[in-house]
Structure 1
Amino acid sequence: MDVTNETTVTQFIFLGLSGVYYLRLTLFVIFLTVYLLSLMGNTLIIFIVLMDITLQTPMYIFLGNLSFLEIWYITATVPKLLATCLSQAVSISVSGCLTQYYFFFSLGATECILLAVMAYDRYLAICSPLRYSLLMNLQMCLWFSAGSWIGGFIAPLPPTILISHLNFCGPQKINHFFCDSDPIFKLSCSDTFLVETLGYTCTSIVILSSLLLTMSSYGYIVVTIIRLSSQKAQKKTFSTCASHLTVVTIYYATIIFAYVHPPAKHNFTIGKVISVFYCVVTPLVNPLIYTLRNKDVKTAFRKVLERKRLILTRNLQRI
């Protein structure tokens, strides 16, 4: 396309979720509440894991990584979402949009890899309990954690670099509340076939390979649980990975619907609704599931509160 006579766009404007003022205010209150609860919940999990030495095991180190990731994952998109609820003229520079795109997909890819690693950890603990401490020692745990972050931040680099070379010459309105791939491609006046193909290929590889590894681990776990003689042992064993399996189901169900498809016409209204689930809801659901369903975390939390209460009582007595 000839773009020599077109004006180069230097910033984009988010259209947000709704143009109705009172609905936007209602959504603002809801999303702000969810955002703050998500920050507090994930920060609490990190604090508990760091404070209680009994939780400093591979399983909870991975959980701490996931909570740390969720804090940044929700922060990558929700502040702009909140801004669009208060004003219909929320803008972002092209470079800022590209930065948001990269960090959002990097954190998303990291979460996919980390969930696969957590499933593998549960596989080793349940299917090879005698070798678990050898196969998943602290050093291996740290290597897996670092590998998840490094792999996640490398995966979106190729499409991000190609997007940075696209021309944007109008219109400048993004039909979304953050810089997602489809709305960006729609605004470009360059040929986007290569970058779309590469982007969807990279996304599909990360999502489907991580899901395959996760489901393979749980396949072996289910077989092992079925072979246990008593129902009590089966229930106890399954309870150790039920929280993680719930998180995996919720997360993958939404991102597969949103991103695992070939370049094609996209329904942005449905896309925005689905995006709310994996951008806003999932980061809050994760700490709720892990705290409400995990006895170790709840016990550690009570111990931390008791310790803080004793310290406060002693300080008051000295006064």
Structure 2
Amino acid sequence: MRELRANISGIIKSSVIDGPGNRMVIFFQACNLNCMYCHNSHTIGLCNYCEICATACPTQSLAIDKEKKQIFHNDVTCTHCDTCLKVCPENSSPFYKSMSVNDLISEILEIKDFISGITVSGGEVMLQAKFLEQLFISIRNHTELKALSILIDSNGNVDQNRWETVLDWVDGFMIDIKAYSPDIHKQITGFSNEKILKSIHYLNLKGKLKELRLVFVPTYNDSDEEIKKITDLMKRLSPEVKKVLIKMRKHGIREKYNFLNEPSLDEMKAVLNRFETAGLNLLII
């Protein structure tokens, strides 16, 4: 089998908020949505080696070789001021790494005794489904790792064939729903949600949808019509699917989206009450 490589934006070796138990979380680079409230916008795009970040770096800690498509980072002089991330026109980062399946297996083995599973996230991790397939097969066939649970955190904006690639190897999926209306979804993310709605129904049918999360964005996805449609969608899902209401937080979002209003606790409770009145119990995060 030909070895594939994936662009990895970061790894958290211990997390208790990305699925059950203590988990390693692997973040993949590149996303096919452009959410206004994204607080990891540097994971959206891929580097095109334009050198804008290197020129803007106040400590001259970056150098780029365009011909070899390599980025050199001096971690000693770097102050981690994030100037490079803020000026990048591609919503990318000079810090993500190309890694192989074996590279990631080595990372997992280092902490295998301290985690209950791994969660892969993004960016949009399902854009690299073939790599995931190889990674998950390697985990399932590894005597020291095969007991780990595997979860995928996705925006759902992919075709069914990508789900089919990994379905047999994972324990479940956590999917966000930004809005039910295609027009509202496009306002929030820049794209329609046709594939996302299909993905939610498909994964639910296969018994693999573990969690559906609504990110509450005041004045965008909280109209009576929108809440009713999302409620109807959630009611059609298996009762075993956890339904979650997430507060949109402004921390880390791009400056041009500072006009967004972060919901207050009272606003969160009011929206939650509307779901409860309709017979749904959602967890607030």
- Shorter-chain TM-score bucket reads under 0.3
- TM-score w.r.t. length of structure 1: 0.22
Structure richer in strand, relative to its length: 2
Structure with higher Rg: it is 1
Ranked by relative contact order (alpha carbons within 8 Å, sequence separation 6 or more), the top structure is 1
